[in-house]
Structure 1
Amino acid sequence: MTPISYVIAGSEATGGAGIQADLRTFQQLGTYGVGTITCIVSFDPAAGWGHRFVPIAAPVIADQIEAATAAHEPEVVKIGMLGTPETIATVAEQLRARTWRHVVVDPVLICKGQEPGAALDTDNALRTEILPLATVVTPNLFEACTLAGMDSIESVEDLTEAAIRIADLGPAVVVVKGGVGLGGDEAIDVVFDGTDTTILRAPKVGEERVSGAGCVFAASTTAELAKGADVVDAVQTAKQFTHSGIVGRLASNAPFDAVLPR
């Protein structure tokens, strides 16, 4: 039987991130991808490639989840960009209505295109309604600092401290990703499962961020979990898969490259 990987996330028009990157990742890792769109994000080439953000109505999101879960009965879901408190409340209600083997959360905190007050409301709603439902959460440095209440993360010890603090918010496993933002020649991630800490390392591929890296990391973790891997093995595969995609990155007319595993 083909494993089902399910994602609830935003659409990103260039294809480098969001649900487009998620579904591509699911396919490449041998699972059948099913997706629910929460919002539409498009860059504006005429305005410095700034974000344009359009939320999907909450009842439409609920309808999509109803259809997807009735047709396929997925056991593993990835949560990406949600975008508004109303969307978060809708998704949280739908998540609580089913039993999930794993809920993987890529905690997109600051929703581009929102006013600061609306963004803060979204951040707070994500923290209180979605994170306690997560079995795995995969914050980058900025997200980890925000969730952990830390001013900065500058070392492996800081990564570990952030992971421990975020675990107190409810997730069973926390993966704090150092990426290019942490000093040194290696991209270092810390995995904390509530008891043990695992350090994952890979050589950095340049010093520039690549669009979709966080999406692909969480999506590949989701696909591996759908295939039956344990969490640490799934995260290790996700790191290798994402690293490959950063090496094989795709350039375009946009001022950023996109992850492209080859």
Structure 2
Amino acid sequence: MTRSVRRTRRMLQVTGAGVAALLALSACSSSSDSGTSPKSSSSTAATSSGSSPKLSGTVTVFAAASLKESFTQLGKEFEKEHPGTHVTFNFGGSDALAASITSGAPADVFASASPKTMAVVTGRNDAVGTPATFVRNQLEIATLPGNPDKVFSLKDLTKSGLKVVLCARTVPCGAAAQKALDASGLKLTPVSYEQDVKGALTKVELKEADAAVVYKTDVKSAGDKVEGVEFPESAKAINDYPIVQLKNAPNAEAANAFIALVRSDEGGTVLDQAGFLKP
């Protein structure tokens, strides 16, 4: 055998050994990947599942009366998205709701029509975290259909013989109305002060009053039962609406989820359609 042949064989042997070693390393690497990948995927899935537990039970929401239509709709959406949950509402004047909460009424979420009434709750440390403003609302005059009394301004509400209804001054809509009147230098004596904005609106719907100062959202929800009259002074008395989870919420996880829905794009669309202003 010649020297060149021996050299060739030796080179082939070395090359073959190198290829075999590379194949072995590749197999180990592949085996290692296939062994950890499913485990890693499973771990991720478990973590994801653990961070979003299935919600169930009742969520109790105390909310300003002006939120009735939009929150009722969002409550149905919430129940649809989270089978096994049920949303119950207590709508009313924000001041009365705040008083109930600080007196120990069981609730998960509080949505107020003003920061002032929300402060009653947060001041007693009955809330978790900082309340978030999710919408704003502006006043409007609600008159009888067709506006037979020719009410075209805030000043027109002072006409002699006109039966006007306002929200109580302790209620956000009443405080805002008084702020608008003060800014205009007007004095108005209503035939009654109502405990929430829906009460004031109902007086006009039932023709027990000629006009009421309510929110744009309430005029819109009433449809053809009333006629709305805008007035420029309302721009000086716009209310922010904050929402918060309550400290002793019986269903804290669902409370957080409901607040998230209210503040989501989906919630924003519902509130926008109701006539609320963006925060």
TM normalised by structure 1 equals: 0.31
Q: With CA pairs under 8 Å and 6+ residues apart, which has the higher RCO, 1 or 2?
A: 2
Q: For the pair shown, which has the larger CA radius of gyration, 1 or 2?
A: 2
TM-score (norm 2): 0.30
